[in-house]
């Protein structure tokens, strides 16, 4: 198993570039991977929420994960999005990611069917036991409605193969409680850019980030400074992006993000329905923020 310290730092939840006809833009995808190596990202998440995974076919997910592993060639670890609200489907996606060469999987709390804490424990235990791909749990109750408790997370931390959690609640008291009680080596990664600096300063291991797609170097430097106690420098980096963290969710993710990255020349601004292009009002707001960031 790859050491857990390889999954720390600033980790972009990578967008999936698309062509006008809706097909995947693999040339832009390769270029993004190279850019994140150059900018210091700690790893990449492929086929997560920001990558529009709900609209990707199983074949497309496998293609993106496999291409990322092949193109990176070990330069960055690849974490594959594998979550589903069906345990059987989550296991199938985990096997697919393992066969494609991923180094870990990001598995979201089952959404829509609202399982109990016992159901969540049984779900993730089954996923971890079904293959050898390390599991990073993903708690984002704002999307899933279901919310895994810290006690359940810590019980799962004892299951072989479950190596950490992406906590997107943004609740610092909850995050610190988890950090203070976790077993050695269990990762606690922020899933909320607005509070990522705070969680890292409390002892967290970094962030799986939306913002890092567009500003990977600043996010990398902020997390590195935080993890090494360089507080003033970390604060300065965070201050540059703080308004943007929130603005990236002014409309459903990744519509604002893809609009920004298209302005940067990183990709063409195409999404799949039911997501639609950013409204003119939100474009004006983001334009002002980008001018502030420089």
> What is the rounded distance in angstroms from the CA atom of residue 152 to the CA atom of residue 267?
40
Q: Contact 51/64 with Cβ under 8 angstroms?
A: yes
- What residues act catalytically? 138, 166
């Amino acid at each position: 198993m790859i050491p857990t310290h390889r999954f720390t730092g600033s980790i972009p939840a990578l967008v999936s570039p698309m062509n006008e006809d809706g097909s995947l833009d693999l040339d832009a995808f390769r270029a993004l991977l190279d850019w994140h190596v150059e900018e210091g990202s700690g790893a990449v998440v492929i086929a997560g929420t920001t990558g529009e995974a709900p609209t990707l076919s199983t074949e497309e997910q496998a293609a993106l994960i496999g291409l990322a592993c092949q193109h990176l060639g070990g330069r960055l670890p690849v974490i594959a999005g594998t979550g589903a609200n069906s345990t059987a489907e989550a296991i199938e996606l985990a096997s697919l990611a393992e066969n494609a060469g991923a180094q870990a999987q990001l598995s979201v709390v089952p959404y829509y069917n609202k399982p109990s804490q016992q159901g969540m424990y049984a779900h993730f235990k089954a996923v971890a036991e079904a293959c050898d791909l390390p599991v990073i749990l993903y708690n984002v109750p704002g999307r899933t409605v279901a919310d895994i408790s810290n006690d359940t997370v810590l019980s799962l931390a004892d299951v072989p193969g479950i190596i950490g959690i992406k906590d997107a609640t943004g609740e610092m008291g909850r995050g610190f409680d988890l950090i203070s009680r976790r077993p050695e080596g269990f990762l606690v990664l922020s899933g909320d850019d607005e509070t990522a600096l705070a969680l890292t300063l409390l002892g967290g291991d970094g962030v799986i980030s939306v913002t890092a797609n567009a500003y990977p170097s600043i996010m990398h430097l902020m997390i590195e400074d935080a993890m090494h106690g360089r507080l003033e420098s970390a604060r300065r980096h965070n201050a540059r992006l703080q308004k943007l963290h929130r603005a990236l969710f002014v409309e459903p993710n990744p519509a604002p993000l893809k609009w920004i990255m298209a302005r940067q020349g990183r990709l063409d601004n195409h999404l799949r329905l039911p997501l639609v292009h950013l409204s003119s009002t939100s474009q004006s707001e983001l334009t002002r923020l980008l001018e502030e960031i420089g």
